[in-house]
């Protein structure tokens, strides 16, 4: 398997399972862990393991840092350190640098003979009384761990681990000691200047010594390599998200399969910063503060891209559900599914943010406080948006109308074309398109014309005051005869005709009839037919209509 594929698989596994390198090494190494049962055994194990690695470095221009022997020996060094306060993302690199710095400090320190250091016998004799031991003349402490997986082991204390790099800066100008355990001169410089990739190691070893000298905490040759790596990674990220945006917009609403397949591009966007981190750490072997900054920034980018991925995945799940045969893609149910998916994705995004923040070393209480303050600030800044969102949810729950239905709201009368998360678009009968915020639709009365079971007509026919009574009765009977069993009549709503009023200038005959199904143009054609029949019947009987108005329609529904 090629190194590139190895690193790709490593990045993928990193995304699927966040775990410390210590746990990985313990699960893969076939070697026994370090003996840390006493300050003596811990110090001896640490020095012996360091010298073993140094011996390999001294005898070889390049070593395979991923070999089982090197990794198991390095893990014996790290087993001697209390790393509980280190953030997970920087545990291996930070611990390795701390171990190298501690070895350099010890190489410049006059250590007491091992038989004078408390061993297992002394620890057993004193019971729980021996909780810490300081190396004479130093600030390096080996203390007993009281909790966690290494409980009751003696490790270099959390304070020593946290300040080891600074301690080394204080003593790096001191000469190496000439007595006691073997020293490892130049170990620190090798650690910071040697590449981790066997392909570039021979080339780096042939460079002038100036290229291996440190510039701002890193070997000079690594700076141009870093710049090239960042430029390539930036180009890949921009390319990935531009292609994703174009393809997603192209396939959304056209092909659910291809739209879902575009999710692979954001996945590559998550892996790219992780791949950069692996290259920087394993191939270029960047160490110290530059590595911590690079890893932190890379993982922050991966974290935010992961949050983006959560929203993108939820959108695709929603579209898959909406495209089932039972759901209208433009209906309220479809919009409700989209809203629920976005709310769920928001919850998942918060979970990813909290987990990622903890992995980066940020305390959970700090993250929760930040999330609370940020949420409050967003809520205050987006009151109108939230109000509209709740209005949309109310519309989804009540379902007063659907796409394609004609509604009357306030002064607007038209057909619903689209129901969005923020607003609803209505095509007016005049042809104009109006956008109405959903919170307004949720607060005021909506008349749904499409859902009426029938169309009712109420009309008034005025007859002159000098019309005889028999003629007036004949008018009522003529109208009732014309409407008897009329077209579109619902048996539950028969027509009604009454002589109901004495006006100042006329007699009034009131007409009610209901037409179904509620097709407006068919209703108008029938009304025209009725008007002509009544007009013709009145002409035959010599009945006149009252002047100046013959027929007055008061509240005909349209």
Q: What is the pTM of this model?
A: 0.47
SS3 category, 354: helix
Task: Give pLDDT, residue 55.
Answer: 87
CB of 450 within 8 A of CB of 439?
Answer: no
Nearest CA-CA partner of 320 in 383, 252, 393, 271: 252
Residue 381 reports pLDDT greater than 70 = no
Indicate if 455-553 has the same CATH topology as 394-448.
no
SS3 category, 129: coil
CB of 212 within 8 A of CB of 225?
Answer: no
- Higher-confidence residue of 14 and 256: namely 256
Residue 140 reports pLDDT greater than 90 = yes
H/E element, 498: strand 496-502
Beta carbons within 10 angstroms of residue 482's beta carbon: 20
In degrees, rounded to 5, the angle at the alpha carbon of residue 93 between the alpha carbons of residues 173 and 89 is 140
SS3 category, 148: coil
What are residue 526's phi and psi, to 5 degrees? Answer: -65, -40
Nearest CA-CA partner of 315 in 334, 341, 343: 341
Mean pLDDT lowest for which of 256-260, 343-347, 526-530? 343-347
Residues facing residue 551 across a β-bridge: 461
pLDDT band at 514 (very low <50, low <70, confident <90, very high): very high
- Higher-confidence residue of 137 and 31: namely 137
What share of the chain in percent tops pLDDT 70? 75
pLDDT band at 124 (very low <50, low <70, confident <90, very high): confident
Give the separation between CA 339 and CA 383, rounded to whole angstroms: 17
Q: Where are the alpha helices (DSSP H) in 323-382?
A: 332-359, 364-381
Q: Give mean pLDDT, residues 326-345.
A: 70
Q: Give mean pLDDT, residues 453-482.
A: 90
CB of 205 within 8 A of CB of 212?
Answer: no
Q: CA separation (Å) from 207 to 58, 147, 185, 279, 282?
A: 18, 48, 21, 21, 20
Residue 396 reports pLDDT greater than 60 = yes
Nearest CA-CA partner of 144 in 124, 114, 164: 124
283-318 pLDDT, tens digit each: 777 766 677 677 778 878 888 888 888 888 888 888
Residue 23 reports pLDDT greater than 90 = no
What are residue 416's phi and psi, to 5 degrees? Answer: -70, 125
Q: CA separation (Å) from 151 to 81, 92, 446?
A: 13, 21, 69
Residue 62 reports pLDDT greater than 70 = no
pLDDT band at 133 (very low <50, low <70, confident <90, very high): very high
Mean pLDDT lowest for which of 72-76, 261-265, 340-344? 340-344
What share of the chain in percent tops pLDDT 90? 20
Residue with tokens 């109108």: 384
Of 1.20.58.1180, 2.60.40.10, 3.40.47.10, 3.30.70.100, which CATH number belongs to 455-553? 3.30.70.100
Residue 357 reports pLDDT greater than 80 = no
On the question of a cis peptide bond just before residue 517, with omega within 30 degrees of 0, the verdict is yes
pLDDT band at 268 (very low <50, low <70, confident <90, very high): confident
Residue with tokens 């997603």: 248
Q: Where are the alpha helices (DSSP H) in 360-462?
A: 364-381, 383-398, 438-443
Residue 323 reports pLDDT greater than 50 = yes
197-210 pLDDT, tens digit each: 666 666 666 767 66
pLDDT band at 372 (very low <50, low <70, confident <90, very high): low
Task: Give pLDDT, residue 157.
Answer: 93
Residues facing residue 415 across a β-bridge: 406, 427
Domain boundaries, the chain: 3-193, 222-381, 394-448, 455-553
Give the separation between CA 263 and CA 244, rounded to whole angstroms: 8
Q: What is the DSSP letter of 388?
A: H
Query: Residue 180: which region, alpha, beta or left (left: phi > 0; alpha: psi -120 to 50)?
Result: left
Task: Give pLDDT, residue 29.
Answer: 40
pLDDT band at 63 (very low <50, low <70, confident <90, very high): low
pLDDT band at 193 (very low <50, low <70, confident <90, very high): low
Question: Could you give the maximum distance between any two Cα atoms of the chain, in Å?
Answer: 141
**How many Å from the N-terminal Cα to the C-terminal Cα in the chain?**
75
Nearest CA-CA partner of 79 in 20, 138, 26: 26
Residue 359 reports pLDDT greater than 70 = no
400-444 pLDDT, tens digit each: 888 888 899 888 999 998 877 678 889 998 889 999 888 888 888
CB of 407 within 8 A of CB of 416?
Answer: yes
What are residue 157's phi and psi, to 5 degrees? Answer: -65, 165
Give the separation between CA 407 and CA 173, rounded to whole angstroms: 85
**Both structure tokens of 495:** 């027509």
- Higher-confidence residue of 503 and 282: namely 503
- Higher-confidence residue of 537 and 216: namely 537
Q: For the chain, what is the mean pLDDT?
A: 79
What are residue 550's phi and psi, to 5 degrees? Answer: -90, -55
**Both structure tokens of 142:** 């080996």
**Both structure tokens of 333:** 């149910």
Give the separation between CA 11 and CA 286, rounded to whole angstroms: 18
CATH architecture of the domain with residue range 394-448: Roll (2.30)
């Amino acid at each position: 398997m090629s190194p590139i594929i190895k690193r790709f698989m490593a990045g993928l596994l990193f995304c699927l399972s966040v775990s410390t390198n210590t746990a990985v090494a313990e699960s893969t190494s076939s070697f026994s862990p370090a003996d840390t049962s006493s300050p003596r055994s811990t110090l001896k194990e640490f020095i012996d393991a360091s010298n073993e690695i140094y011996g390999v470095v001294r005898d070889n221009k390049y070593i395979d840092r991923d070999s089982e022997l090197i990794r198991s020996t390095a893990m014996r060094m790290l087993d001697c350190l209390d790393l509980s306060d280190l953030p997970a993302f920087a545990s291996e690199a930070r611990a390795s640098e701390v171990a190298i710095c501690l070895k350099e400090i010890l190489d410049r320190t006059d250590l007491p003979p091992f038989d004078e250091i408390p061993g297992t016998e002394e620890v057993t004799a004193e019971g729980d009384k021996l909780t810490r031991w300081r190396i004479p003349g130093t600030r390096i402490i080996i203390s007993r761990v009281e909790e966690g997986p290494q409980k009751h082991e003696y490790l270099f204390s959390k304070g020593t681990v946290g300040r080891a790099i600074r301690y080394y800066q204080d003593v790096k100008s001191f000469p190496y000691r000439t007595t006691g355990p073997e020293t490892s001169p130049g170990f620190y410089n090798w650690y910071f200047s040697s590449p981790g990739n066997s392909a570039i190691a021979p080339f780096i070893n042939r460079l002038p010594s100036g290229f291996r000298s440190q510039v701002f905490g890193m070997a000079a040759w690594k700076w141009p390599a870093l710049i090239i790596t960042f430029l390539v990674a930036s180009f890949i990220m921009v390319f990935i998200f531009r292609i994703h945006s174009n393809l997603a917009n192209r396939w959304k609403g056209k092909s659910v399969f291809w739209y879902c397949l575009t999710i692979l591009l954001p996945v590559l966007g998550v892996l790219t910063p992780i791949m950069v981190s692996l290259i920087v750490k394993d191939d270029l072997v960047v160490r110290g503060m530059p590595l911590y900054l690079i890893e932190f920034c890379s993982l922050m980018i991966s974290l935010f891209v992961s949050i983006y991925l959560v929203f993108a995945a939820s959108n695709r799940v929603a579209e898959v559900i909406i495209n089932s045969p039972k759901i209208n893609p433009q209906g309220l149910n479809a919009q409700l599914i989209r809203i629920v998916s976005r709310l769920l994705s928001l919850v998942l995004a918060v979970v990813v943010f909290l987990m990622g923040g903890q992995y980066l070393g940020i305390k959970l209480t700090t993250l929760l406080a930040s999330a609370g303050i940020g949420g409050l600030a967003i809520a205050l800044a987006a009151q109108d948006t939230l109000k509209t969102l709740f209005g949309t949810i109310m519309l989804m729950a009540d379902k007063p109308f659907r796409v394609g239905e004609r509604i009357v709201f306030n002064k607007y009368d038209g057909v619903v074309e689209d129901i969005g998360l923020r607003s609803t678009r209505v095509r007016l009968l005049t042809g104009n398109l109006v956008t109405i915020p959903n919170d307004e639709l949720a607060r005021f009365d909506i008349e749904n014309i499409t859902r009426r079971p029938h169309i009712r007509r109420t009309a008034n026919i005025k007859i002159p005051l000098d019309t005889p009574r028999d003629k007036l009765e004949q008018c009522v009977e003529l109208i009732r005869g014309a409407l008897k069993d009329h077209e579109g009549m619902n048996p539950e709503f028969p027509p009604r005709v009454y002589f109901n009023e004495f006006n100042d200038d006329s007699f009034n005959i009131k007409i009610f009839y209901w037409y179904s199904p509620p097709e407006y143009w068919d209703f108008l054609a029938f009304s025209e037919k009725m008007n002509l029949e009544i007009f013709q019947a009145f002409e035959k009987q010599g009945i006149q209509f009252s002047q100046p108005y013959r027929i007055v329609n008061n509240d005909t529904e349209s």
